[in-house]
Amino acid sequence: MIELRHIEKRFGDAVILKDINLTIPEGSVTALIGPSGGGKSTLLRCINLLEIPSAGTIRIGSEETVFAKGKKPGWNDIQKIRQQTGMVFQNFQLFPHRTAIENVMESLTTVLKWPAEKARTRAMELLTKVGMAEKASAWPATLSGGQQQRVAIARALAPSPRVLLCDEPTSALDPELAAEVVDVLGTLAREGTTMVMATHDLRLASKLADQVIFLQAGDIVEAGPARTVFDTPQHQRTRQFVSSISAAQVL
C-alpha cells in the first residue's frame, strides 16, 4: 500500500502540490489526470523521490519517510523508498549504448549486484512478458517507439518493485504503437501489479484504472472509482475536463 499524508512540494515561492492526502491499495491501478501543470508528474516523481517533497509523509509498505522544511532525508531513507518503485518515463530513457536486454539487466547487475547470467535470465523472462524477446539483442535506435517503451517497462519491472510508476506512458506514441503499450500494461494490471500513472489519455485511464485522481493547480479536485469519475463526475471542473478531452478521444 502507498500512503501520502499532507504532501507539499514547492519550487521557491511556487507551490506545486498542496496538502496531498492519498491512499493507493496494493494491487490497484490509479490514474492521475488533469490539465497540464496540474501537478500529475510532480506527484508521481515525489512518490519515488526523484523530487523530494517539501513537507509531508510517504509510506510504501513498511517504509516511511517524513519530510519537513530544512530537513533533508538521508540517502538510506531515500533508497528505502526508491528501491520499492519502478519508473516508466514518457520518452523511454533507454541507454542508447546498451542493447534491449542489457538495458533490462543494468539495474540488476549495477545496483543489486546480481551475477550476469542470473540477471540475463531475469531480463529475458521480462522481455518475453512484454513481447520483446526476439529483440533482445537490438539497439534502442533500431526499435519503434512502442517497442522501446515495452523494453522500458521490462527494465522498470526487473528488480521486482512494489509499485510501477508510469509518467505519460503513451503520449509520445501514435495510436497503433500506443495500443501495444496499453496491452502490456493491461496484462500487468490483470496480474495484480500496483500501478500509478499520470496520463492525458483517458482511454488508457478508462480501460485500466481502478481509481482516478483529478488534479488541478496542485489540489486533488476529485477522486473516486474510475467509472464514477468518468461517467458521473461530482465537480464542474472535472466534468469540463473530461468532456473536453473525451471530445478528441473515444472512451
- The answer as to whether 251 is a domain residue is no
- The answer as to whether 102 is a domain residue is yes
56 and 175 housed in the same domain: yes
205: domain CATH number is: 3.40.50.300
Please tell me the distance from the alpha carbon of residue 55 to that of residue 71, in angstroms, as a whole number.
9
User: Is residue 83 very low, low, confident or very high in pLDDT (cuts 50, 70, 90)?
Assistant: confident
Specify the pLDDT at position 219.
94
Domain end: 131, 160, 189, which one? 160
Question: Is the per-residue pLDDT at 249 higher than 60?
Answer: no
User: Is residue 188 very low, low, confident or very high in pLDDT (cuts 50, 70, 90)?
Assistant: very high
- The answer as to whether 38 is a domain residue is yes
The reported pTM is: 0.90
- The answer as to whether 127 is a domain residue is yes
Each residue's pLDDT tens digit, 8-62: 999 988 999 999 999 999 999 999 999 988 999 999 999 999 999 999 999 998 8
CB under 8 Å to 170, separation ≥6 — which residues? Answer: 149, 178, 181, 182, 199, 201, 204
- The answer as to whether 89 is a domain residue is no
CB under 8 Å to 3, separation ≥6 — which residues? Answer: 22, 23, 24, 57, 58, 59
> CA 11 from chain center: how many Å?
22
